[in-house]
Amino acid sequence: MGFLDGKVGVVTGAAQGLGTAYARALASEGADVAICDVKPEVSAVADEIAATTGRTVRAYPCDVSQAEAVRGFADAVLRDFGGVDVVVMNAAIYGSTPLDLSREEALSEYQRFMDTNVRSVYLLERALAPSLVEREGDIVVISTDHVLPPVQPGGTRGGPGSDLYDASKWVLNGYIQAWAMGFAANGQNVRVNGLGMGATDTPMLRGVFPGGDPPEDVVAGWMTPAQQAQLLLDLLQDGRTGDLIASEPGHPVELPPRSDLGQPVSNMPHEQFHHGLMGLEPAIWENPT
């Protein structure tokens, strides 16, 4: 049926938008899929994907900001599916955190962003890593273009009210690089990459606009979840590790090529951001002293 026949995929934050698209893409290539979300609509998403693909798709209610909920989700997936091959860490929150928040508000927002966007990713990796090592799987962390160099020289990324969101996504770069090196240094064939996309038509992005209703001409310039889902599939087939793959509106949504040395070569303007570890032998890394 597809290149993921017999595999098991996991997608967090799959009740809508990118998460739904990622789950549907994995199932379309033959994977059985476990999805979770805090939103109850995740159950209907699982039913729809199962009906249209013929794969086993199970939904689990899970608030990833809660450590015990993440552990419970991981345990349930391992129990119900017997193991995992692809883990897409998609669940995240976005919102404005103005610089003039009160001390109490600032502390509360800090905890909320870090628990949801950072701690959940770490805990899920720790819970599922043994299965991924055994089955030589993939971790894909969903990031953002906010952590990438600007498209134009002298430009900026992110926004003045998104410090916590941007900071939480910067942390993911450390996860991607350290996990990719760590698995490889141990001789374990687990690939770890990130996807950092620009404006994509999702409920999260639409929610930035008043009433969730952006102008049609603005939406016309955005990328689509289906394009991002295809990029995920291409990445899984490629076999690289330690890379943060970017995509920008107005440019092809595709993997950049690799150089003869195994390093990725950006196909985006101004020699952006690709700095992965592909093609490097595990022996080049030594454990920290």
Provide φ and ψ at 62, rounded to 5°.
Answer: -160, 125
- For residue 128, count other CB atoms closer than 10 A to its CB: 20
99: which residues sit within 8 A by CB, 6+ positions away?
160, 161, 163
Return the amino acid letter for 282.
P
DSSP 242: S
By CB neighbour count within 10 A (0-12 exposed, 13-18 middle, 19+ buried), where does 239 fall? exposed
Residue of 22, 60, 94, 165 marked active site:
165
Helix axes 42-53, 17-28, angle to 10 degrees: 30
122 is catalytic: no
Cα angle 74, 55, 230; round to 5: 85
Active site residues: 165
